[in-house]
Structures are given as structure tokens and as C-alpha cells.
Amino acid sequence: MTDPRLHYFAGYTLVDITSTGVIRDRGTDELKRNQQRNWETVLQCIGLRTQPMQMVQKKSEVNLEDMEFGEMYTGTQSVWSFAFVVEHNDIFRKDDDPVGLLDDSFDTVPVITGLEETARFILPIFYTNGAIKNIYFKILLFDLNKS
């Protein structure tokens, strides 16, 4: 029997992952090309385990007090959030953590920094844990059988 739930995941990062659609750098679009490169990195990391569907992305200025970033980051910062749907239940589960394999796929992956981020990073990589955590994930379940 098919699981009636849609499996939504959300990600939050301090790294500029703006989807610009710029896939070639002609010398004048370097910022937009590098933002797109970071977005492509996100898609590739997710795609290591499954094909994401219905990808949406948003940039907001957020007070990090209620966010789950590392303690190095405080105050109001630019945060890029994204959400997507997958077909398979527990595709990112590692032991008791429903997003553990997402964390593994992203941890220490290189990114391009110095774009439109307000946060500053020690190294240009995604960190998924510790005081310098700059990306994290949540699972969101929506049951179509419940009203």
C-alpha cells in the first residue's frame, strides 16, 4: 500500500543559494552565476539520494534567535529557506534522525561565499552541526487523509 503522506522537507541556510537561472558566466553576471552555482550544489546534494520535486526557495531577513544555526551566528541575518517534496518515505533517515542523511550529504561541501550573505564564515563550506552550523533541515509531513 502506498503511503498517503507527501514527504516535505525544508532547509535553512545562511549561504546565498539564490536561484538566478544564470548558467553561463559571460563576465558580467559573475554574482548571479555564483549564486546559481550554490543553488546547483543544493540540488546535487539532495539528488544524491532522490529526485526533489516542487522546489521552492525564499530569502528573508530573520532574527536567528528562533533558528537552529550554530551559536557563532546571532542577530538578524539573511536566511535562504527552501522546501521540496520526495516520493519515498524515510529516504533521508539515519537511525532516529529523519534528516540525518541530508546532514551527511551536505556536511563540509564547498560553496561560494562573499555573495549577498550577511553572515561571515570561517571556511566556504556547508556545516551541518556545531557552533558554525550554517545549514539545517526539517521534515514536514502533510497527511492527505486528515482534514
Over its C-alpha atoms, the chain yields an Rg (Å, rounded) of: 16
Question: Domain 5-143 - what CATH class?
Answer: alpha beta
C-alpha cell recorded at residue 136 = 539545517
Nearest in space to 103 (alpha carbons), one of 135, 75, 71, 79: 135
Please write the tens of the pLDDT for every residue from 7-46.
899 999 999 999 998 988 777 789 999 999 999 999 999 9
C-alpha cell recorded at residue 78 = 539573511
- Is residue 104 within 8 Å of 97, Cβ to Cβ? no
Q: How confident is the model at residue 6 (pLDDT cuts 50, 70, 90)?
A: confident
Domain boundaries, the chain: 5-143
**Residue 131: other Cβ atoms inside 10 A:** 11
pLDDT value for 47: 93
Please write the tens of the pLDDT for every residue from 60-108.
999 999 999 999 999 999 999 999 999 888 899 999 999 999 999 999 9
Distances (CA, A) of 90 to 3, 12, 99, 104, 140: 11, 20, 8, 15, 12
Query: What is the three-class DSSP state of 13?
Result: strand
Q: CB under 8 Å to 100, separation ≥6 — which residues?
A: 92, 93, 94
